[in-house]
Amino acid sequence: MQKIIIPENLAIRFDKFLLRDFFSDVPRAEIIRKIKRGNVLVNKKVAKPNYRLKKADIVEIDFKKPLREIQPNPEIKIKIIFQNDDFLIIDKPAGQAVHPVNFSDNQTLVSGLLDRFPEIRNIGDKSYGSKLRPGIVHRLDKETSGVMLIARNQPTFTTLKKMFQERKMEKQYLAWVYGKFSKKEGLIEKTLSRSKNYKKQIIARENSLRKSRAAVTYYKVKKTIDDFSLLEVSPKTGRTHQIRIHLASLGHPVVGDRLYKAPRKLRKISAARQLLHAEKISFSFQGEIFEFQALIPLDFSCFLKGLESGYS
């Protein structure tokens, strides 16, 4: 509990006093909520935010400033495939979120990275929310496993980010999907936009109200067993959920995908998570060609063995 006695020369609104002298980095709406909840008192009473402070008023503050930095977490394990002074290549496990949505969450991949590589803390593009994803050049969905690229300094971050934007990064995924394909390979070119609730993507229509973005995905069938296909997928653009929504739009959703899920008639077999794996990434950096690969995860192999044993 912090106690302040108002001096004679101070005449200011209660909420403005708190914002000016104690919580300049806290949203005003949060200050108002705390005042109304009684976390900040004037003369031991709940005061209105517009109360004008006067001499000898006693202000008592009983709440902490919210965190403004992500906290490192040594418990988050990082599987490193490669590292140098400029970047890291890691193998992200399925079920691990890449970055938090607020500073109080230290259970994401970023907290593990900050524990081992604290130099990444201030690396980013300075856009809204960039402090929540330091060093993160690109992302994988929480339930997607596989190879990820992390920048270790600002010049490298800027260069790699531009390479992604200019489509100079080659990424290759593996995906188990429902159904058989009539063609062994194909190119999906379908523009995407946000749905009404912003939680998922949809194939854009001519009358779509939200911003639409071009999206291109190449796929190749590697194996077909019963009513399931294993695909090699290469996104040529980097839109949110691109692979998942593109494959679902063809009637071949990713096995285990609970957002873009298969019709009930196809769901004879599911999985604990969406069976999408970022297998490989390749790029040229400072005159050198790099290619990295993440091993196929156990659940992919188990799914194949289950199909081969005939449990479908």
Phi, psi of 191 (to 5 degrees): -70, 140
Secondary structure (DSSP) of 221-247: EEEEETTEEEEEEEESS--TTHHHHHH
Backbone phi, then psi, for 65, in 5-degree steps?
-65, 140
Give kind and range of the element (H or E) at residue 213.
strand 212-213
Residue 299 known to be catalytic:
no
CB 151 within 8 Å of CB 123 = yes
Report residue 248 as tokens.
Answer: 């679902």
Catalytic residue of the set 141, 226, 227, 257:
141
| Bridge partners of residue 283, in order along the sequence | 290
Strands of 93-191 (E only): list them. 145-151, 170-178, 185-189
- Angle, helices 28-37 vs 14-21, to 10°: value is 120
Residues in CB range of 1: below 8 A, 6 or more apart: 60, 61, 62
Query: Which amino acid does the sequence have at 309?
Result: S
Render the burial of 64-97: b for 16+ CB within 10 Å, e for the rest. eeeeeebebbeebebeeeeeeeebbbbbbebebb
Residue with tokens 């938090």: 100
d(CA 136, CA 129): 12
CA geometry: angle 202, 243, 298, nearest 5 deg: 135
CB atoms within 10 A of CB 298: 9
- Residues recognised as catalytic: 141
